[in-house]
Amino acid sequence: MPTPIVSSPDVVANGNEDPVPQDQIEPVAIDEGEQQQPLEQEIPVAVAPSRPQRIRKSAISDDCEVYNSEEIQMEDDPTSFEEAMRSVNSSKWTAAMEDKMKSMSANKVWDLEEIPKGAKILGYKWVYKTKSNSKGNVERYKARLVAKGFT
């Protein structure tokens, strides 16, 4: 007579052999706040860029108002040497230029040299500004010697 097959959750019968006990799987208790994590799948690894990628933000916030801060040139300020010499205040402009030349000479701003042949020569021009006090009265006449061009 054949051996009867016994059905039990922890015993498995396989044909002519004796029943083999199996490990019983216990249910896992999960806390209400804890979630079961899904099985991890293999994700292909992307090649990282050589430089970090980030979102660039403007240094000036959106609520900031930006105004043009150029100095307003007064109508009396000459724009060239010829205008300065033709103006009513030509003696004051001449004194301002002489004062600037004395200052540059005292500070040894440059050395006079012979210009070699083929050398690039830069031009220059005088820039004139009148300096006013808080009441709008002209306080000083100022002249600057600036180079025109780049080396």
56 within a domain of the structure (yes/no):
no
Write down the pLDDT at residue 94: 96
Distance of CA 74 to the CA centre of its chain: 35
Establish if 42 belongs to a structural domain.
no
- Strands, DSSP E only, in 29-76? none
Q: What is the pLDDT of residue 121?
A: 84
Which residue in this structure is represented by tokens 């402009």?
Answer: 93
Residue 84 placed within a domain: yes
Containing domain of residue 97, as a range?
74-107
Write out the two tokens for 74.
């007064």
Assigned domain for 18 exists:
no
Q: Which pLDDT belongs to residue 134?
A: 86
According to DSSP, the residues that pair with 148 across neighbouring strands are: 123
Q: Judge whether 12 lies within some domain.
A: no
pLDDT in tens, the chain (151 residues): 555 555 555 555 555 555 655 555 655 555 555 555 656 666 666 666 677 777 777 777 777 676 665 555 556 789 999 999 999 999 999 999 999 999 999 999 888 889 999 988 888 899 999 998 888 888 899 999 998 876 5
- Count: domains in the chain: 1
What pLDDT score does 67 carry?
65
Other CB atoms within a 10 A radius of the CB of residue 104 amount to 12
Report the predicted TM-score, pTM, of the whole model to 2 decimal places.
0.48
Q: Do the domain assignments include residue 96? A: yes
Beta carbons within 10 angstroms of residue 128's beta carbon: 24
Residue 90 lies in a domain: yes
* Per-residue pLDDT at 86: 93
